[in-house]
Structure 1
C-alpha cells in the first residue's frame, strides 16, 4: 500500500474517519480488531493496549502520527496503515431537499453512517443544524432523526419545534417521537419542502 494517511479523527465509538493520499476516504471501524480478531492479526496491539482501547473514552483520543503514517494513542501505534486502509467503508448519507412540486433546492452528501447516525441529525433553518433548510415556516431546529431498531432498522423521528410529517404521521408536539421503517428513504415534510434521507 503506497497511500499515506493524511487525516484521522474519531467519529463514533471505535470508528475513525480517515483520508488517504490516493483519495480513499471514509470511516474505518476498528471494533473487530479490538474485540473479535485473534491477536496475531494485529501483532503490535498488546493485550494491555487492546483492553485500554476498548474504552470508548480512551479510543476517542486517537490522533494522526504523520511521521509514522498511522493512527496513534500516546506513544502507541498498534495499527499498520494497511489495516486501517482496508477497514474503510466509503458509504455516505445522501440528503435531497426539494419543494413539494419537485424542484431540487439542495443535494448533500453527509459523512458516513456512524458519523451521521451516532449523534443523530437535525433538520432546520439554523446554521447549526446538520441539514440546513432555509425556507419560510421551517423552525431553527425543526426535527431530529436517529436510526434504531436493531434487527428491524427504523428512523426515529423527534419533533423539536414546528410541524413535521414522516411515514404518514404528522406532529407539532415538541418531544414527540415515532418510528418509520428504514426499508426505503425517509421523507420529511417541513413547511413547503420535502427532505429525503437515504
Structure 2
C-alpha cells in the first residue's frame, strides 16, 4: 500500500509541510502542478479548482483529510498522495559525511530545498546544527552555507568558528564568507572529514 499523509500544513505560498505514514517528511512545492503542468498529470485537479488554488490565500486553507490520507481544500482532494510524496522526495538534499580516508560516517537526506536553504545549512558538532558532525576538531557551530547568486547560482560559505575549506578557499576567521559555484556538489573540509552536499 502506498504511503498516506498523516500531517499537513501550509508553510509558504504553494508549499505544504507533510509527514507520511512511512516516515518520509518534508516540504512539497505544488506550484509546478498549479502553474506549469498539463492538467492530465493531475486528474483530480479541474480547471476551476486549479484557478482557485492559484491564489495563495486559497491554497493556504489546505487541510488533511485523515480518512483519505491526502490534502484537501473543502470537499476537493485534487492531489493523490503519491504526487505529493514525489514532490517531497524530488527536492530533498542529500549530504554525505566522510573521513578523509573515505570512510562514510553518515548519509543524510535533508528536507526540501526551500526548507534547508531558507535559513542556511549549518554544520558543526552541536546537536542544533542541520548536519551534526561529532568529530575531534569540529567546532560546535563550524560553518553556515546558503544558496543564491540568481543567474549564476552558488553556495555562500561562511566560517562561524573553526577552519573550513571549500572550493579551494580556506579560512578560520569567523564571519569570512566566499562563493563556490553550484556546478558540482559542495565539498566542505572540516578537521579530519569532508561533508558533501549535493
Question: Contact conserved, 2:163 with 2:170, CA < 8 A, in 1?
Answer: yes
Instruction: Find the counterpart in structure 1 of residue 48 from structure 2.
Output: 43
Question: Contact conserved, 1:154 with 1:179, CA < 8 A, in 2?
Answer: yes
Q: Any residues of structure 2 matched to 1:6-17 within 5 Å, and which?
A: 6-10=6-10, 12-17=12-17
SS of structure 1 residue aligned to 2:140? coil
| Partner Cα distance (2:23, 2:126) in 1 | 32
C-alpha RMSD over aligned residues: 3.4
C-alpha change, 1:174 and 1:77, in structure 2 (3 Å) is farther
Deviation sequence 1:107-160 (CA, Å, 0-9, x none): 212122222222221000100001001112211111111121222221111111
SS of structure 2 residue aligned to 1:101? coil
| Partner Cα distance (1:111, 1:143) in 2 | 19
TM-score by length of 1: 0.75
Question: Contact conserved, 2:125 with 2:139, CA < 8 A, in 1?
Answer: yes
SS of structure 2 residue aligned to 1:137? coil
C-alpha change, 1:3 and 1:134, in structure 2 (3 Å) is closer
| Partner Cα distance (1:142, 1:13) in 2 | 32
Q: Any residues of structure 2 matched to 1:149-160 within 5 Å, and which?
A: 149-160=149-160
Deviation sequence 1:139-195 (CA, Å, 0-9, x none): 111111112122222111111111111001112222221111111111101112111
Instruction: Find the counterpart in structure 1 of residue 181 from structure 2.
Output: 181
TM-score by length of 2: 0.75
Unaligned segments of structure 1, at least 5 residues? none
Count of residues in Structure 1 that have an aligned counterpart in Structure 2: 190
Question: Contact conserved, 1:71 with 1:77, CA < 8 A, in 2?
Answer: no
Q: Any residues of structure 2 matched to 1:32-181 within 5 Å, and which?
A: 32=32, 41-44=46-49, 47=52, 50-53=54-57, 59=60, 62-67=62-67, 69-71=69-71, 76=74, 79-82=77-80, 85-86=82-83, 88-89=86-87, 90-91=89-90, 92-181=92-181
Deviation sequence 1:23-43 (CA, Å, 0-9, x none): 987643222466668998453
| Partner Cα distance (2:15, 2:138) in 1 | 33
Unaligned segments of structure 2, at least 5 residues? 40-44
| Partner Cα distance (1:107, 1:3) in 2 | 23
SS of structure 2 residue aligned to 1:43? helix
